[in-house]
Structure 1
Amino acid sequence: MPFSLGPRAISTGYRLAAFDQIGSTNAEALERARAGERGPIWFVTTEQTAGRGRRQRPWIAPRGNLASSILEVMDVAPSVAATLGFAAGLSLEAALRRLSMEAALRSGQGTSFFLKWPNDVLAGQHKLAGILLEAESVPAGQLAVVVGIGTNVVAAPVGTPTLATSLAALGIKLSAEELFLALSDAWAEFRGIWDHGRGFADIRKAWLDRAAGLGEAVAIKSGQSIIEGVFDTIDEQGCMIVRTSAGNRMPVTAGDVYFGSAASVRAN
């Protein structure tokens, strides 16, 4: 089946640009924004050859995986736009949960999905998807925001900081096109709740309900430093709040997250 938008996405005004193969859907979205595209528009493919994740790590989508990016131009500050990544995580988790429940009814096997701060979707304890948010200023003082969502449908990379898996490895038989159809509608829903940051309190609550490792020991590698404690919550700006052994509540804005002791961090 070809890529197509869900009915909710269509009614909300989204458009779609689908590619047989592309270097990077995020790069394509940013190039279009620089050329005057104002969205909202999805860029999707089942084969991405030059994608990237956080910290410029390569994110290659072999044929059959889903690489998707949404471009929206909006009047928000960069700090507000950054919280849109949480709505993206909720969107993908909702789409995966619905489709996997339908698959479980057929197979009798269920899968649980969780959201890992700041930008991963997990199946159990394994990484299934990553989210990369990028933004650039455009004329009239607006911000072009691109949210890239890469999902391991048929294959998972090796050598990642968090062990990865794919839908196929989990026994969930879905195509990238089927997943995107559900994702586009879920995005329209959670993007509407987010509402230019005005609804982040509701997004935050829903995200915490699905958070991996909440209340557990956590170690975050940020640059050359390692922060240890308990994952307490995320705050109103989306920072992870870590409760240290001294009882302090420390906000963390970025880093690689490992659940458990710092020994697991030093091993990576």
Structure 2
Amino acid sequence: MSNFSLGAKARSAGYRLAGFDTIGSTNTEALAAAAAGDPGGIWFAALQQTEGRGRRGRQWMSPPGNLAASLLIVPDADPDTIATLGFVAGVALNRALSSILPQGMIRIGIDGADGLDGQSRIALKWPNDVLADGAKLAGILLEASKTPAGNTAIVVGCGVNVVAAPEGVPYPATSLRALGIDRTAEDVFEALTDAWVETFALWDDGRGIGTVLELWRGSAAGIGAPVAVTQDGFVRRGIFETIDSSGRLIIRDDTGARFPITAGDVHFGATASARS
């Protein structure tokens, strides 16, 4: 049985919670709540998803014991600004995961995907993944819909491999258990809800996006390393230089030209030349 609870900061901020053992998709549940007129500020959390999804409709495997969590909010910001909430989620999830890691558990990442200091065990991969030692540990999915009143509702979905990583996927994946970390989905969720409150306050309806992006860069995977970004079959290769003020990935090619990337599949280091 699930035993989800909000963190103290989330409770104080007035967030609500709906917890499940098994659900089709926490994002779908949150979108349905938005369509029904829920004002937002509610988390949907589950120990298992049977119909989870990632970016571009890809399936997100979520076996029993992993965390699937989705937050419904109705932010007061324009659509372009709302799109940067993915970075808020990334920083919050990174903070939550880092807070439950045993002290001293540090390892260098792989394939150039380590953090800026070359030692970060947890790192953020543009645009929506969290890595542990270069392998995918968690993913983020933002979805938007309209409320009955015509406002834009955003669902921030987070999936964390707590007890098991998916098999047969075309990228390295890991779990907290595989890393030797004995924590539960409920532990991760509680830490996430409090980290969200802190990071969302920094975002401040978009006015603080610069601060959030700076925090994101500070935990970014692969800055300064070779990168390949696939967009509709076209692969652009170069050096991952930075994330700009709009959250776009900036690639510098061999000629020194810089290219802003707004979406695509990212591969680092050795895989930057091996995958399309």
TM-score interval for Structure 1 and Structure 2 normalised by the shorter chain: over 0.9
**Aligned residue pairs: how many?**
261
Deviates more, 1:139-148 or 1:19-28: 139-148
Q: Distance in 2 between matches of 1:198 and 1:222?
A: 30
Aligned to 1:24: 25
Q: Distance in 1 between matches of 2:124 and 2:202?
A: 18
- How far did residue 110 of structure 1 move? 3.9
Q: RMSD of the TM alignment (CA)?
A: 1.3
Tell me if 1:225 matches 2:234. yes
SS of 1:51 mapped into structure 2 = coil
Specify the code of the residue in structure 2 equivalent to 1:247.
Answer: G
Specify the code of the residue in structure 2 equivalent to 1:121.
Answer: V
Tell me if 1:60 matches 2:70. no
SS of 1:46 mapped into structure 2 = strand
1:120-159 per-position Cα deviation (integer Å, ceiling 9, x unaligned): 0000110000000011122444210001000000000123
Specify the code of the residue in structure 1 equivalent to 2:16.
Answer: R
Matches within 5 A, 1:96-135: 96-100=97-101, 103-104=102-103, 109-110=105-106, 112-135=121-144
Identical residues among aligned pairs (%):
54
1:149-181 per-position Cα deviation (integer Å, ceiling 9, x unaligned): 000000001232321000000000000001111
Aligned to 2:156: 147
1:26-78 per-position Cα deviation (integer Å, ceiling 9, x unaligned): 00000110011111000000011001001111012111000000000123222
Maintained 8 Å contact 1:75/1:141: no
Tell me if 1:13 matches 2:27. no
Deviates more, 1:79-88 or 1:22-31: 79-88
- How far did residue 254 of structure 1 move? 0.6
1:86-115 per-position Cα deviation (integer Å, ceiling 9, x unaligned): 111111111111110xx34xxx64461000
Tell me if 1:265 matches 2:257. no
Aligned to 1:94: 95
Specify the code of the residue in structure 2 equivalent to 1:165.
Answer: T
Structure 2 unaligned residues grouped into runs of 5+ = 108-120
Of residues 197, 212, 216 in structure 2, which corresponds to 1:203? 212
Maintained 8 Å contact 2:34/2:146: no
Q: Distance in 1 between matches of 2:6 and 2:23?
A: 19
SS of 2:275 mapped into structure 1 = helix
SS of 1:196 mapped into structure 2 = helix
Q: Distance in 2 between matches of 1:211 and 1:254?
A: 16
Aligned to 1:174: 183
SS of 1:60 mapped into structure 2 = coil
Q: Distance in 1 between matches of 2:95 and 2:105?
A: 18
SS of 2:60 mapped into structure 1 = strand
Aligned to 1:45: 46
Aligned to 1:256: 265
SS of 2:124 mapped into structure 1 = strand
Q: Distance in 2 between matches of 1:133 and 1:249?
A: 27
Maintained 8 Å contact 2:131/2:137: yes
Maintained 8 Å contact 1:29/1:69: yes
SS of 2:213 mapped into structure 1 = helix
Matches within 5 A, 1:73-88: 73-88=74-89
Maintained 8 Å contact 2:44/2:71: yes
Aligned to 2:192: 183
